[in-house]
Structure 1
Amino acid sequence: MKSLFGRILLAATLVIFILFIALWQWLQFSQDFSRNQIQQSLHRDLAEHMAHINPLLSQGITSDAALKEAFHDFMLLGPSFEIYTLDRQGKVIAYDAKEEKIKQSQIDTNIIDDFIQGANLPLLGTDPRSSSKDKIFSAARLLAPDGQQTGYLYVIIGGEDFDAWQSIVSEHQAPQFWTTAILIAIGFALVLFVLLLKLFTAPLSRLENDLRLVASQQLNAGVVLPRQYTGSSEINKLSSHINTLLEALSQQHQAINRQQEERHEFMLHLSHDLKTPLTSLQGYIDTWLLLPPHERSSDLIEVAANASQHLQQLLGQMLELEALENGQVTPNWNELHLVDLLEELQLTFAPRANSKKVMLNFVDSHNLTVRTDRQLLLRILNNLIDNAIRYTPEQGMIKIQTIRDLATNKVWLQVSDNGSGMHKHELTALKRMTQKPLAMMAKQTALPQLGVGLAIVRQLLGILQCDIEISSQPGKGTTFNIKLQVVSQS
């Protein structure tokens, strides 16, 4: 049975059946115990009276042949009794039965002595006609005229004939009893099943219907189960967990949608960046081909080569960004003297800045040593300075300097310019990376409308676990402050 209803029915039927069997066994034991206690109590003095009224037994005789006739007379008056005489050690001496019916010839006299001394009933003694079964009994000591004990008179209550008649009655009554008992158990199990069905499965059915309703809706914010389940604490907890799961799924769905929108905008911006040098390259080549051979100038080829170089740079940045987003770059932590890094950057960008008539100023007044990955930090600064030169007009200034806050003992590497700056929506998009855990920064999609270079900066900052502060105003310039981990100051 795979359904919940079938399992409840099967479980209820098995439980009721097991309880019924256990109850029946307990009642049977209780009935046997009570019957034995009553019968043994009623016949407690039976053996004493028999020993008193029989002349031979009253003289303490245990082995005379005439005792068998006396035993026969006693058993005619009480067919359920079996009478034996025992010696002082408990050995069976005289009895009125065929010899092959005697299975045990030794009786435990300790139980007999307990009975004679008035122990609590019922007491079960050895049945000479059974190899394993014990029965209730009555017993009395047999005394000689001089007062010496010669043995015991031992009377089994409910002997072999009683067992035979009881077996016949049980065989006729048992089938009817068990049939009735099984029908009652099945009926009770069915009633219990209906009650359990109403108690447990009704809330589950309502929950199933509500989940179907939720499944037919779009996974937007605020999608929850439409009702509270207060009838069962378990169902109420389950519905609460489902609502929590729905909320988490809704948030993830919205995050995925936002990332898709950002990636779409980024790809549009990237396609524009790629299209510009590609169009320029194609245009100059076409112009060069249309000119007569004697009028073809090398200037057009030089411009086309520059456009090709720009295109190659963009493609390289795209591959670098893909590697960063896939987690293929890991930092190599070492100590780095900032003055050496700034000197290298000055040698790299000075020719380009001079050609554009932009002042490039590197200042390290603190002579700091930091712990970082030299190549990754160099790539960050390359991208920031490259963007600064690109958007700073002639006679503008770009400044790269170290700033130390003695009050907080924080050190920042600052890249600032007085170029075109960024608009509010661009600055908000760039700052978004500083509002999330550093562990997530390297896993997010690229920010739109900021170019591949700044997207790479964002990924590298996440890998180096660097905080960044950004400020910018359109027409006044942009400032980037990167927090560094200082090792020492020379």
Structure 2
Amino acid sequence: MKNSLYTKLSLTLASIFILTASLFLWWTQSVSQVSRAQAEQALHLGLAEHLANDNPLLKQGVYDYKALENLFHTLMVLGPAFEFYFVDPSGKLLTFSAKPGQVKRQFIDLVPLVTLIEDQSNLPIYGDDPRNFDHKKIFSVAPVYNGDTLQGYLYVIIGSSIYDSIFASIKSSEQILVNSIWLVLGLGFLLISMLVVFRTITKPLRTLSSFIQKVDKTEFDITELPLLDWPKHHNEIHQLGAAVNRMLITINQQMMQLTKLDEQRRELLAHLSHDLRTPLASLQGYLELLNKEAPNANEKAAHYLNVTLKNCGQLKALIDQIFELAHLESGQTNINLEVFNLGELIYDVMAKFALRAEKAGIQLQVHPKECDFSVYSDIAKLERILTNLIENALRHTNQGGTICVNIVLDSNQYKIVVADTGVGISSEDLPYIFEARYRASNSLGCKKSHAGLGLAITNRLIQLIKSDIKVKSELGKGTEFAFTLRASKPV
């Protein structure tokens, strides 16, 4: 199931919100830590220098732990947040206030120490933590001289391990936890509020989308579906909904007008063809009678009479086709489905054209020859379909050509293919061959010998028997018309 627009936008909004909140918390925490470190280092910047100047033992170059033990003890009591180290000019730790075994480094990097001594404007500056290989800490440092000789550096870590553990416990105290909970609840409430507001804003869009889907299912017939009531001049989505309503009303009115005009056209064609049939039949009868009773008429009069009879027959055929097409399009045609033998019907239709095909030098074939297949369809309409297709093939096939009806089993259906080796249909004409009054530009023989409605009638008949016709053609190589019929029982 596809996610809705609201779901996608909500997920995107929530992801961006969580990411932004996480980055903000990380940034504020980092800024807080840097600010705290900067303030503490600036506050205790001169600590090491004062200690070095106020202790004669350090000035004398005494750095033995036992000698300095009382000094370190006193300093630790007064400032438990500090750790004291004495470092020689190469960075080696000579003595320290920590107990033996707690210091893991033997050397520290002197670059941060020298940087702080030379420039105290860019704080905080972090130095190595002798108790940990991975940590850095702020510090205070002072060089220790004996005369002009550099004895080493007094390296004071600001924020001892005791200080870190106490500060960590404070951070995890109940007050911090309560504040964190309130912060999370506040952020959650803000997120939920934003989602509710967003859902309220997008609700009209979802309503419009659902309405358009329902309209599409009814094929834009709004008589079966009431239009939505949109507030006037509320927002852009409501304005869009009102515009959609107006558009649907216009489309529906135009469709009703087109339907009415189409019905009027069909009725007119049916009435005209019906009204023309009676006088035309009377005219044709009198012309045939005149032709029989005037055997002694001169040759010129006989020729004129034959031409008149021929044109009268063509006009009758045209009116019959118009009447048939109008009747098929009226939607009042009955479908009589039954089980019958497909092979027998095909051979009966072939027999109607056998003499005409023989005179034209065209072979008629059926494959397979033994086609004892039972189908479930309307036999009368299928006969008319095959008649039109074979007659169309005869009209477009040269002397010496072949017209073949192939029957192929295809998934409990029989595929009927009427193929010829005629002149074929151009790619420009192919999309229009089932339209009324179509007649290919490469039609053989007299262009007035047919009405041009045969394929339109065939297409409509195939639709009535719940099938679909497909055509393949190539100029100079022939044409194939194919459609399927339901088998009377599973094959």
Distance 1:73 1:208, change over 3 A: same
User: Are the aligned partners of 1:278 and 1:307 in contact in 2 as well (CA < 8 Å)?
Assistant: no
Please, which moves more after superposition, 37-46 or 176-185? 176-185
Give yes or no for the alignment of 1:269 onto 2:272: yes
Amino acid at match of 1:185: L
Equivalent residue, structure 1, for 2:330: none
**Aligned equivalents of 1:217 and 1:33: distance in 2?**
66
Amino acid at match of 1:139: V
CA displacement, residues 21-67 of structure 1 (integer Å, 9 cap, x when unaligned): 33322221222122112211111111111112222222344456423
**Aligned equivalents of 2:184 and 2:281: distance in 1?**
90
**Aligned equivalents of 1:60 and 1:36: distance in 2?**
31
User: Are the aligned partners of 1:211 and 1:225 in contact in 2 as well (CA < 8 Å)?
Assistant: no
Equivalent residue, structure 1, for 2:336: none
Aligned ranges for residues 77-476 of structure 1 at < 5 Å?
77-98=78-99, 100-117=101-118, 118-145=120-147, 147-173=148-174, 175-201=177-203, 230-233=233-236, 235-237=238-240, 239-240=242-243, 243-244=246-247, 247=250, 250-251=253-254, 254-274=257-277, 276-278=279-281, 298-299=292-293, 310-313=312-315, 315=317
Amino acid at match of 1:122: P
SS in 2 for 1:90: coil
SS in 2 for 1:27: helix
Residue 4 (structure 1) shift:
6.3
Equivalent residue, structure 1, for 2:58: 57
Amino acid at match of 1:44: L
**Aligned equivalents of 1:270 and 1:300: distance in 2?**
31
**Aligned equivalents of 1:63 and 1:272: distance in 2?**
133
Equivalent residue, structure 2, for 1:359: none
**Aligned equivalents of 2:231 and 2:146: distance in 1?**
90
SS in 2 for 1:82: strand
**Aligned equivalents of 1:80 and 1:318: distance in 2?**
113
User: Are the aligned partners of 1:278 and 1:308 in contact in 2 as well (CA < 8 Å)?
Assistant: no
User: Are the aligned partners of 1:37 and 1:122 in contact in 2 as well (CA < 8 Å)?
Assistant: yes
Distance 1:309 1:136, change over 3 A: same
Amino acid at match of 2:169: I
Tell me the number of residue pairs that the alignment of Structure 1 and Structure 2 aligns.
Answer: 321
SS in 1 for 2:85: strand
User: Are the aligned partners of 2:105 and 2:130 in contact in 1 as well (CA < 8 Å)?
Assistant: yes
**Aligned equivalents of 2:133 and 2:207: distance in 1?**
61
Distance 1:252 1:165, change over 3 A: same
User: Are the aligned partners of 2:277 and 2:319 in contact in 1 as well (CA < 8 Å)?
Assistant: no
**Aligned equivalents of 2:250 and 2:92: distance in 1?**
87
Give yes or no for the alignment of 1:40 onto 2:41: yes
RMSD: 5.0
**Aligned equivalents of 2:211 and 2:280: distance in 1?**
59
Distance 1:198 1:97, change over 3 A: same
**Aligned equivalents of 1:318 and 1:61: distance in 2?**
130
SS in 2 for 1:129: coil
**Aligned equivalents of 2:98 and 2:281: distance in 1?**
124
User: Are the aligned partners of 1:284 and 1:304 in contact in 2 as well (CA < 8 Å)?
Assistant: no
Distance 1:99 1:85, change over 3 A: same
Distance 1:280 1:141, change over 3 A: same
Structure 1, unaligned runs of 5 or more = 289-295, 323-440, 447-452, 458-490
Structure 2, unaligned runs of 5 or more = 296-301, 325-431, 438-447, 453-491
**Aligned equivalents of 1:20 and 1:180: distance in 2?**
14
Residue 319 (structure 1) shift:
7.8
**Aligned equivalents of 1:132 and 1:163: distance in 2?**
15
Amino acid at match of 2:292: S
SS in 1 for 2:154: strand
- Percent identity for Structure 1 against Structure 2: 23
Amino acid at match of 1:124: Y
**Aligned equivalents of 2:87 and 2:278: distance in 1?**
123
Structure with higher RCO (Cα < 8 A, 6+ apart): 1
Equivalent residue, structure 2, for 1:66: 67
Amino acid at match of 2:271: L
User: Are the aligned partners of 1:143 and 1:151 in contact in 2 as well (CA < 8 Å)?
Assistant: yes
SS in 2 for 1:150: strand
Distance 1:86 1:263, change over 3 A: farther
**Aligned equivalents of 1:239 and 1:75: distance in 2?**
80
Distance 1:52 1:262, change over 3 A: same
Distance 1:100 1:171, change over 3 A: same
Distance 1:297 1:54, change over 3 A: closer
User: Are the aligned partners of 2:273 and 2:319 in contact in 1 as well (CA < 8 Å)?
Assistant: no
TM-score (norm 2): 0.51
